[in-house]
Structure 1
Amino acid sequence: MTTTPTVSRATAVAARATDLSKVYGHGETQVVALDQVTVDFRQGEFTAIMGPSGSGKSTLMHCVAGLDSFSSGSVRIGETELSTLKDKQLTQLRRDKIGFIFQAFNLLPTLTALENITLPMDIAGRKPDKQWVQQVIDMLGLSARLSHRPTELSGGQQQRVAVARALASRPEIIFGDEPTGNLDSRSGAEVLGFLRNSVRELGQTVVMVTHDPVAASYADRVIFLADGRIVDEMLHPTADGVLDRMKAFDAKGRTS
């Protein structure tokens, strides 16, 4: 198999990691979670990150999203270098330029669906673009659920609210950490379809960590990590193709 330690193309870039490393501990207890990773996440593209357990896929997403620090290298969101930002500036960047979708939904139970959707903008003191928010709500089929609280919604509906919240502020990039991990297959397919449509119809940029080949098949490309390094890339992925690639990684791990 041909390895691709660097994944990059000449086009508009929403986020970029260059020689990114993340090391935990020292000496004999040292663990290298990321080992000089270089990757671009291009605007208007849906990228899935996959790899065996412990490969560094979640660490990569957390570092690029500004949720975790890194040991060396560079991370940029647009033209902004994360390592130059103070904590307050980093918080503001995450709030203004990045959207997040988590496996656990992370909705506030005392707020309605609409209040959860607009919460980040309310906290920032920014007025939502009503036309844009309505477009997102319509795309996600949430118009009839806006006055409902999370306990009155199904798991799939709650995750759709979380997707709407991530899209509502029109961030430069959205990161999803196993966003369908707590959903049944039908609800998961709906949410993945909405994410794909947000890229194709709204021009959004989405980066998703997943272990599921079916989920990865919704993306425009898949980046594969192993032992903290990017080892392969697949364009226009299919579920079977991703599964075969993952099986090859597993077989290599068992024989190494």
Structure 2
Amino acid sequence: MPERTFRSTHLPFNQGVTVTTAVANPLTGGGGESTAVAARARQLVKAYGSGETGVVALDRVDVDIARGAFTAIMGPSGSGKSTLMHCLAGLDSVSSGQIWVGGTEITSLKDKKLTRLRRDHIGFIFQAFNLLPTLTAAENITLPMDIAGVKPDRAWLDQVVQTVGLGGRLRHRPAQLSGGQQQRVAVARALASRPDIIFGDEPTGNLDSRAGAEVLGFLRRSVDELSQTIVMVTHDPVAASYADRVLYLADGRIVDEMWRPTAETVLDRMKAFDTFGRVS
């Protein structure tokens, strides 16, 4: 996959650094080789409240998210999977620990710089499509860039539209689109600004199985054909099977991972959570 650069707060914003780490990656046939990292966390703690009523949502989590790969995060209800994604995306503060997106440590950023980093380097796809009903599909796709005063890269935008299969729907408003088509618009919107990493929180949760499969297929293609990095929280073994790697959380900790998942192997692993409370 082609190399891409990441911004660093230690360099002018027209320069970049490549962050690598040693990751055992069966997808590339090696163990402990140098793999580019899109996001990483070290000793990440997220706690709510204190004392006997306090809840630790994330308990000293260390994780690396490989660049140009599709990572799914799974776990029982209350395991901390959505909290982990929100912290990695800079949507939620941390109690302690550090998070980097590319070469930028986001846990030390002030609100204004963090907002700018999210706008310029991170994309989001959520269950709710969050499309403006008065705008066409094309206008919804470019809306974040229009607000930021950034001119879209037309060649890239055309490639994104082709990848998600929206070529014949760009002039339609959301009410004229199916649920699956609306989520395709949301996917294209996330891809359009060419962010370093895209986070999805149950992105197919409001879709039927056919529409969900379409959207997951487009996400998979964006990784394979556009070298996009995607992190997706899901409870669905079928959705997780589209990923390269599945991380399993329990009690605020990453307790297992799986490479080259299938729906069957993911379901079997999730049954272990139900039986034993955590993966052994």
Q: TM-score range by the shorter chain?
A: over 0.9
The alignment status of 1:17 with 2:41, answered yes or no, reads yes
CA distance in 2, matches of 1:138, 1:201: 11
Counterpart of 1:93 in structure 2: which amino acid?
A: L
Counterpart residue type for residue 137 of structure 2: A
Separation (CA, whole Å) in 1 of partners of 2:77 and 2:249: 10
Code of the residue aligned with 1:197 in structure 2: it is R
Flag the structure with more relative contact order, 1 or 2, with Cα contacts below 8 A and sequence separation at least 6.
1
Partner of 1:45: 69
Which structure dedicates a bigger proportion of its chain to helix? 1
Conservation of the 8 A alpha-carbon contact between 1:56 and 1:226: yes
Task: Give 1:193's aligned residue.
Answer: 217
Segments of 5+ residues of structure 2 without an aligned counterpart are 1-20, 24-33
Give the secondary structure class of the aligned counterpart of 1:106. coil
Relative to the length of structure 2, the TM-score reads 0.87
Mapping 1:209-228, distance limit 5 Å: 209-228=233-252
Aligned length: 248
- Structural RMSD (CA): 1.2
- What does 1:41-190 align with in structure 2 at a 5 Å threshold? 41-190=65-214
Runs (4+) off by over 3 Å: none
Name the CA distance, whole Å, in 2 between partners of 1:8 and 1:27.
38
2:177 counterpart letter in structure 1: L
Checking the alignment, whether the CA contact within 8 Å between 1:8 and 1:39 is kept in structure 2 is no
Give the Å deviation of 1:114. 0.5
Offset, 1:141? 1.2
Cα distance, 1:189 vs structure 2: 0.4
Unaligned runs of 5+ in 1: 1-6
Identical-residue share of aligned pairs (%): 77
1:246 is displaced (CA, Å) by 0.4
Match of 1:3?
none
